[in-house]
Amino acid sequence: MDLRVAFAGLTLKNPLLTASGTFGYGREAAEIYDLGILGGVMVKGVSREPWPGNPPARVARAPGGMLNAIGLQNPGLKHFVEVDLPFLRRYQTAVVVNVVGHDQQGFVDVVQGVTGQEGVAAIELNISCPNVADGLLFSQDPASARRLVQAARAATGLPLIVKISPNVTDPVALGQACKEAGADALSAINTLLGMAIDTARRRPVLGNRTGGLSGPAVKPIGLRIVYDLAAQVGLPVIGMGGIETGLDALEYIMAGARAVAVGTAVFRDPYAPPRIVRELGEELQSHGFENATQAWAAANPAAREAAS
Ligand SMILES: Cc1cc2nc3c(=O)[nH]c(=O)nc-3n(C[C@H](O)[C@H](O)[C@H](O)COP(=O)(O)O)c2cc1C
């Protein structure tokens, strides 16, 4: 089975990536399998300076998934470029650098800082970050998302992927604004804002009060948003949200995703990414496809039209 896919200036050996924040910088997984099995690694969000993250508790159980409020903790750009990127370069897999910032300049500095570094295949902007200028998430205001993407576009020639938040009224309008600002591709979905209450202690479970819901519970929402983005925006989409099996991945691909990412599933099964690569090949074959590209948007004719 030919699993190769190509879109937005990226060529992946297979359509399976690991979702940002659930795979660190690949070190733990590399102890148990060859990262070269993966189509790509979307690294934990990188900020200009090191970020401390949120107070505990940072994760909580939720039906069909989990809540997390890690707070985008990471060791910062310098550490990424000097330590994590050289480690990832040893593997034959596409490295997608997820970028976070407190303000537009913070994003731009990281985009510039990784552009030109050997072994960076693409940049993914996590626009679900609060903008200190107005306290709103960049994703919650299409005008500020547009300015941010324009500034990032001006700072790099690498493929630019913008991660779409489901916590907005109209993800398609957000995707459209990102396209007009110069994005090459979209990824969807980020986590859904939620919370859990500790009834014995009479307070929220998470130290941050709220957190992001991920895992199988969010898959129907992810599929709906990927389907709509592919059909109505027309940019290539990397689909994610609740993928646990090769069949889940195929659902996303048929909905219009060019590639998919696996996140929360790795906490239950560390071998999930290589397993899903294998299962996806089997599912494509049993569904009568000769390669991964044939399955793309098989259930979403409007996406095929939008891309042509
Ligand atoms: C513990 C945890 C940390 C995450 N950190 C990030 C992050 O740093 N940047 C980002 O864009 N998304 C982050 N995400 C969101 C995931 O990349 C993904 O979009 C989301 O979890 C949906 O996929 P899943 O249901 O397969 O986990 C994080 C998710 C989890 C569970």
- In terms of Cβ atoms closer than 10 Å to its own Cβ (0-12, 13-18, 19+), residue 10 is buried
Query: What's at 262, amino acid-wise?
Result: V
Domain boundary assignment for the chain: 5-54+71-196+215-302
22 Cβ below 6 A of ligand 1? yes
Give the mutation target among 20, 74, 96 for probing the ligand 1 site: most ligand atoms within 8 A of CB. 20
The pair of structure tokens assigned to 60 is 């909580």
255 Cβ below 6 A of ligand 1? no
In this structure, the number of other CB atoms found within 10 A of the CB of residue 230 comes to 28
Measure Cα distances from 225 to 15, 85, 107, 144, 276 in Å. Answer: 19, 31, 25, 21, 22
Please give the CATH topology (third level) of the domain spanning 5-54+71-196+215-302: TIM Barrel (3.20.20)
pLDDT attached to residue 134: 83
166 Cβ below 6 A of ligand 1? no
- In order along its 308 residues, the chain shows pLDDT tens digits of 999 999 999 999 999 999 999 999 999 999 999 999 999 999 999 999 999 999 999 999 999 999 999 998 999 999 999 999 999 999 999 999 999 999 999 999 999 999 999 999 999 999 998 787 888 889 998 899 999 999 999 999 999 999 999 999 999 999 999 999 999 999 999 999 999 999 999 999 999 999 999 999 999 999 999 999 999 999 999 999 999 999 999 999 999 999 999 999 999 999 999 999 999 999 999 999 999 999 999 999 999 999 98
pLDDT attached to residue 308: 81
Catalytic, out of 108, 129, 149, 233: 129
178 among known catalytic residues: no
Q: How far apart are CA 80 and CA 22, in angstroms?
A: 16
Q: Which atom of ligand 1 is nearest to the CA of 44?
A: 8
241 Cβ below 6 A of ligand 1? yes
Query: What's at 125, amino acid-wise?
Result: L
Please choose, from the candidates 171, 254, 268, the residue with its C-alpha nearest in 3D space to the C-alpha of residue 215. Answer: 268
